[in-house]
Structure 1
């Protein structure tokens, strides 16, 4: 579990692959990049693929750019090509400039230590995964207003990524490939941030392609064409966003793998990291997936919102919204007709605080099961609740 900010009883050791000249103090680690000094605070997460996320304080001599940010220590790859791909993936995020995409401040590879890292924006509020779990514990899903607000913001961010061009005007063809609850976070003021373009696909010249058998990202939110390893378009992200919105609005995932028997099925595909739902069951579910599955999942929602989700979740990509901007505008239309008052950052921040407060009070009364219902990050400081 993560430590609370300000707990100086232990030292978080930044890896040796950080910039040469880093100072190892008794209670903190310091390093400097391009005149900006970073003071390590704590380790936030170690991912299954070996990546480490650390929260650091950012300081410069004139006092500007204060506050926390995130250092993403990429796992040491085993070859130059793999290392180069990791660097290029972070470089993709570095090109993105949108208020709903977590910013990358600095990227660098360390050839001596065979590592790459990025200094990134730190979103201090909860992920959607945490909010959906808290709402589930509370016994009531997040509001329609919240879901529409998040959907509009994420769709707008994806449209920016999908339409980004190079310095010469050539389309970069960026597709996130991992739009899911854990990669969308809500800032403390209600701002929505899309995180982690590490699994992104792009037409960027010189990039090493993913192995044909490798599925990057969480397959629980993958489009049918991605699970078939068919060519991808931005409409694949639209499908993933549709799956995510169903979960936000209903509290239930679109796919129920418990109803699918485990079959010893030969597949050439493999996942890069352990998925939240098993690959074999997801492939089996996709073989019978259609509008009836969507209708069952969204039965409690209004007809106008159901129609939007049905379009986003068509099996045939050509039948989905043509662009993320089209999905954004459709969600805005529903919000305009359905919500009595505008729903924005302030409303989202209030609802998130209420949900995590209610869910946090009940979490000790709930049997979470073997896997655990709440993500490990559900600590008071990460939910904006302050210290106990």
Structure 2
């Protein structure tokens, strides 16, 4: 494996080989959550250049201080690989295995084509109109199916593994060029795997903007925690609005909504997170998670159909006991609503994305698309399907109709 001091190597440099397969460097994708280098590599065999894979590479340490961090990061990556053996599913990104090398180790992962919901949300905001209810239902049902698979896994003895993704957000859901929806990155998943790495502090894992209230408070989490995160994701993707961005409420108004007991909970969670590398808005997200009400969900979901609003209301209950009990139940409800709509397939989802890309036009230059995304392009002009204007379109671009609770959570989005 190429030493860290040699990064980034020239394109085509062989990082390592396995048998007659060489892994050639193609692009540096940055640094992962435990300090590993994330690379895009191409496989070369005696038959020629093959497919691409993503590598999470962890170099061996040079100092005693680095050694401690290396062992902790190694344990996390090994756990991710072991967990992946239990969650083989067509809607979940695959991990091929872990390779031990002289200078370090690499986790070899499937390279997914397509665009994340995070990027598509930026596209929607650039063109001034969000995606259809059929698109939302399609994506939601597919992700629910992926979560159901993960949540119901057992070990070899049949004991439930209690897997919780803990980082469901728009950046973890990808639409492929053939309309396939994939859930990615179980790198910080909670599970009962033997030898798993325990979380040092009771705190939210992953993106705090999509964490459920119980996760933000450092309380016990379960499958329903992932469903809340999916609810926040679908709400934002359908409307551009986010419950954790009250917009029109001042800090003192947020505080006024909290009961004395809730204020004590927020304080305890804030104290517990001192010294941890949480973003500066984490405490604000916690307050918003504690004070939002049913009417806030209703206002944020304004403009959506009653059945879809009802689904979001159930997903976004502060009390986990009031949410859908399982991802299976959620998927069934979403599929039932899909059945009431005109037929809509993955191919239709791709066409809708292509339409959005075409309508965004030159504004796409302002969108920062991660280096590992792509594979869905704008069709030539005579291939773009024409659609009758909906009542929502007739009101003009969404940019001029923005809700007070609308939030932007990624670079390049309209404000």
TM-score normalized by the length of structure 1: 0.82
Shift of the alpha carbon at 1:270? 5.9
Contact 1:260–1:284 (8 Å) recurs in 2? no
User: Structure 1 residues 15 and 256 mapped into 2: Cα distance closer, same or farther (>3 Å)?
Assistant: farther
Pair 1:336-2:339 in alignment:
yes
Unaligned runs of 5+ in 2: 60-65, 256-265, 380-415
User: Structure 1 residues 82 and 38 mapped into 2: Cα distance closer, same or farther (>3 Å)?
Assistant: closer
User: Structure 1 residues 324 and 34 mapped into 2: Cα distance closer, same or farther (>3 Å)?
Assistant: farther
In the other structure, the counterpart of 1:95 is: 86
In the other structure, the counterpart of 1:238 is: 227
Contact 1:217–1:273 (8 Å) recurs in 2? no
Select the residue among 261, 282, 287 that pairs with 2:251. Answer: 261
Shift of the alpha carbon at 1:322? 1.0
Contact 2:12–2:24 (8 Å) recurs in 1? no
Pair 1:58-2:32 in alignment:
no
User: Structure 1 residues 295 and 187 mapped into 2: Cα distance closer, same or farther (>3 Å)?
Assistant: same
Pair 1:280-2:273 in alignment:
no
Select the residue among 80, 92, 97 that pairs with 1:106. Answer: 97
Shift of the alpha carbon at 1:155? 0.4
Query: Which runs of structure 2 are paired with 1:309-328 in the superposition (5 Å)?
Result: 309-328=312-331
Q: Determine the C-alpha separation between the residues in 1 that align with 2:199 and 2:21.
A: 34
In the other structure, the counterpart of 1:191 is: 180
Shift of the alpha carbon at 1:60? 3.8
Give SS of 2:231's match. helix
Unaligned runs of 5+ in 1: 1-13, 18-23, 367-373
In the other structure, the counterpart of 1:303 is: 306
When structure 1 is superposed on structure 2, of 41-50 and 256-265 the one drifting more is: 256-265
Shift of the alpha carbon at 1:257? 5.1
Give SS of 1:215's match. coil
Give SS of 2:50's match. coil
What is the aligned residue count? 353
Query: Which runs of structure 2 are paired with 1:27-42 in the superposition (5 Å)?
Result: 27-33=12-18, 35-42=20-27
Select the residue among 37, 50, 54 that pairs with 1:70. Answer: 54
Q: Determine the C-alpha separation between the residues in 1 that align with 2:180 and 2:197.
A: 34
Greater Rg, structure 1 or structure 2? 2
User: Structure 1 residues 353 and 72 mapped into 2: Cα distance closer, same or farther (>3 Å)?
Assistant: farther
Q: Determine the C-alpha separation between the residues in 2 that align with 1:351 and 1:326.
A: 27
Contact 2:210–2:232 (8 Å) recurs in 1? yes
Q: Determine the C-alpha separation between the residues in 2 that align with 1:253 and 1:260.
A: 16
In the other structure, the counterpart of 2:170 is: 181
In the other structure, the counterpart of 2:3 is: 16
Contact 2:23–2:43 (8 Å) recurs in 1? yes
Q: Determine the C-alpha separation between the residues in 2 that align with 1:140 and 1:87.
A: 42
Q: Determine the C-alpha separation between the residues in 2 that align with 1:57 and 1:385.
A: 25
More helix, by proportion:
2
Q: Determine the C-alpha separation between the residues in 2 that align with 1:54 and 1:292.
A: 45
Give SS of 1:107's match. strand
TM-score normalized by the length of structure 2: 0.77
Contact 1:215–1:272 (8 Å) recurs in 2? no
Q: Determine the C-alpha separation between the residues in 2 that align with 1:249 and 1:287.
A: 23
CA RMSD of aligned residues (A): 2.9
Contact 1:44–1:55 (8 Å) recurs in 2? yes
